[in-house]
């Protein structure tokens, strides 16, 4: 079985991106895994602080490990946005394949110092683990936002990205390139899309020379995503789109079977709804160019 590092290298060579989908329950995990298996592409599952707390750090690790083992399938687990060393180490000990150490809210020097320390401590207990650092401002919360944040000030500078990668020893970098966490209401309605600074992605890639991760990919223009992947994005994070699909699928399941109490009969429409999104995103990230069909 190939490890996450090999899978990332392969993605870079092929000019495709690995889909990263956040999961908070078995519905999401099942849907993401089934979509990836149907398309036969590797997949990364992410759990943020809230998602880890809800599912249990060891429990989500055990679930992903069991899927990988039983089906001999390249599904990997990422600790999304850890903000302290103990939190990052807990995930590493539980068997997560990668950790996002997010000190991006701190000034540059402090971000470098803390991230460097985290890389060292994490690799000491698990040499194969991949550590991602974050530079710039991509907002917080994969939720539906009322209004757009001002992203212009927090964009990642390519020269700083190079300095950051070299000083910290991170394996992958999450830059701010017009992306943001969460979606605006108009994006959920399908009226607007996020747009990315493609030239900046290419410059950061050239300077930093590590795989780049695009956080906050939900609601991004399809063509921008294709160009971003061609410019050097190797992992794309999707969370809010799945959450929207999860809720809609669940509501559908409840509405269609008003007297049903059997959970798996109600939840199967949520699985289908999430799976449609995951499938369509994975197709696009892997170079097949299928348009977004879910959030209209
Ligand atoms: Zn993120």
Q: Give the number of other CB atoms < 10 A from CB of residue 260.
A: 11
- pLDDT tens-digit map of 111-128: 999 999 999 999 999 999
Contact 92, 61 (CB under 8 A): no
Gap from CA of 81 to ligand 1 centroid (Å):
6
Tell me if residue 288 is catalytic.
no
Gap from CA of 20 to ligand 1 centroid (Å):
10
Gap from CA of 25 to ligand 1 centroid (Å):
18
At 131, the pLDDT band (50, 70, 90 cuts) reads very high
At 150, the pLDDT band (50, 70, 90 cuts) reads confident
Catalytic residue among 6, 58, 80, 97: 80
Q: What is the pTM of this model?
A: 0.95
Is the per-residue pLDDT at 271 higher than 70?
Answer: yes
Tell me the pairing of strands 43-47 and 18-22: parallel
Percent of the chain with pLDDT over 90: 91
Gap from CA of 113 to ligand 1 centroid (Å):
21
State the pLDDT at residue 140: 77
Gap from CA of 225 to ligand 1 centroid (Å):
16
State the pLDDT at residue 295: 36
What phi and psi, each to the nearest 5 degrees, are found at residue 260? -80, 140
State the pLDDT at residue 139: 84
- pLDDT tens-digit map of 175-190: 999 999 999 999 999 9
Neighbours of ion ligand 1 (CB under 5 A): 215
Gap from CA of 60 to ligand 1 centroid (Å):
18
State the pLDDT at residue 253: 98
State the pLDDT at residue 151: 80
């Amino acid at each position: 079985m190939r490890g996450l590092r090999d899978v990332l290298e392969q993605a870079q060579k092929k000019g495709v991106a690995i889909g990263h989908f956040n999961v908070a329950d078995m519905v999401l995990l099942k849907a993401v895994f089934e979509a990836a298996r149907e398309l036969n592409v590797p997949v990364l599952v992410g759990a943020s602080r809230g998602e880890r707390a809800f599912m249990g750090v060891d429990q989500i690790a055990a679930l992903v490990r069991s899927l990988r083992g039983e089906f001999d399938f390249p599904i990997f687990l990422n600790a999304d946005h850890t903000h302290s060393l103990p939190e990052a180490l807990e995930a590493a000990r539980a068997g997560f394949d990668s950790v996002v150490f997010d000190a991006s809210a701190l000034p540059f020097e402090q971000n470098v110092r803390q991230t460097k320390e985290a890389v060292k401590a994490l690799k000491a207990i698990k040499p194969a683990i991949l550590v991602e650092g974050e530079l710039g401002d991509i907002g917080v919360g994969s939720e539906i936002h009322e209004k757009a944040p001002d992203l212009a000030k927090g964009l990642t500078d390519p020269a700083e990205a190079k300095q950051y990668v070299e000083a910290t020893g991170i394996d992958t970098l999450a830059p701010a390139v017009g992306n943001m966490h969460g979606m605006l209401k108009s994006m959920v309605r399908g009226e607007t899309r996020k747009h990315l600074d493609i030239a900046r992605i290419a410059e950061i890639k050239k300077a930093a020379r590590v795989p780049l991760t695009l956080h906050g990919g939900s609601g991004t223009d399809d063509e921008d995503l294709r160009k971003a992947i061609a410019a050097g994005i190797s992992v794309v994070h999707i969370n809010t789109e799945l959450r929207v699909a999860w809720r809609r699928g669940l509501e559908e399941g409840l509405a269609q079977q008003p007297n049903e109490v059997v959970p798996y009969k109600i939840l199967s429409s949520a699985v289908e709804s999430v799976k449609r999104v995951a499938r369509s995103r994975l197709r696009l990230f892997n170079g097949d160019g299928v348009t977004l069909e879910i959030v209209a």
